[in-house]
Amino acid sequence: MNYQEAVQFIHSTLKFGSKLGLQNITELLRRLGDPHKEFRSVHIAGTNGKGSVAAMTTSILYQAGYKVGMFISPYLERFTERIQINFQEIPEDELACLTGLVKEQIDSMVRDGYNHPTEFEVVTAIGFLWFARQRIDVAVVEVGLGGRLDATNVVKPMVSVITSISYDHTNILGHTLSEIAFEKGGIIKPGVPVVSYPQLPEAEKVIVDLAR
């Protein structure tokens, strides 16, 4: 599989839609050796500012001497922008190689009766696999959609970050600020510190309740 074939395969999975939930990504990562358990992480959710916070956090860690992975979406010009280490994009040949490995496990999953992973689940698996193979110190991981049921929520981070919450994807996340905050606050985990942008009272109450 070459780079163009890899990107074509990844984009072809768009037809499987956006299925929120962790069963598929958990199974796919298990078959790949649970690469997300090989590095520490910072997990970022929110409506506005996720990309900026991810870039700033990556820069701080990089300047402090860490080998830092950054997983973001979407991209501006090149697909490889989504997966970086120390601000260097994943090489095209490595993306192609890892996509081939992930595809093998997806084919096996489908034969075993699992649903085909979505595009975001595929990209998440590729990113985490590359980070593990490159032995990074920490990954800065941006949520794709929501948080609670997002594919990235398999990580057990050092810290969870919630940026400004407002109305977005209301057809999926809910029609009130409380409902949206509940989904985004779903990245909060026991024993993991949470840093939150000052929220509107309706959203702040949900975040505080989840963090208790």
Number of independent structural domains in the chain: 2
pLDDT for the residue numbered 147: 94
Contact 158, 181 (CB under 8 A): no
Angle 119-133/23-31 helices, nearest 10 degrees?
40
Question: Tokens 């949206």 identify what position?
Answer: 180
d(CA 176, CA 102): 37
Low-confidence ranges of the chain (pLDDT < 70): 17-19
Residue at 121 is within a domain: yes
Residue at 177 is within a domain: yes
In the listed set 92, 127, 162, which residue is the last one of a domain according to the structure? 127
Contact 30, 154 (CB under 8 A): no
pLDDT for the residue numbered 80: 98
Residue at 168 is within a domain: yes
pLDDT for the residue numbered 173: 83
Give buried/exposed letters for 95-111 (b at 16+ CB in 10 A, else e). bbbbbeebbebbeebee
- Mean pLDDT of all residues in the chain? 95
In this structure, the answer to whether residues 82 and 151 fall within a common structural domain is no
Residue at 4 is within a domain: yes
pLDDT for the residue numbered 18: 66
Residue at 31 is within a domain: no
Coil, strand or helix at 21: coil
pLDDT for the residue numbered 74: 84
Contact 5, 96 (CB under 8 A): yes
In this structure, the answer to whether residues 6 and 102 fall within a common structural domain is yes
In this structure, the answer to whether residues 176 and 204 fall within a common structural domain is yes
Question: Tokens 């402090």 identify what position?
Answer: 64
Contact 146, 183 (CB under 8 A): yes
pLDDT for the residue numbered 17: 64
Q: Which domain holds residue 112?
A: 1-10+70-127
In this structure, the answer to whether residues 113 and 82 fall within a common structural domain is yes
Residue at 5 is within a domain: yes
Q: Which of 164, 163, 152 is nearest to 122 (CA)?
A: 152
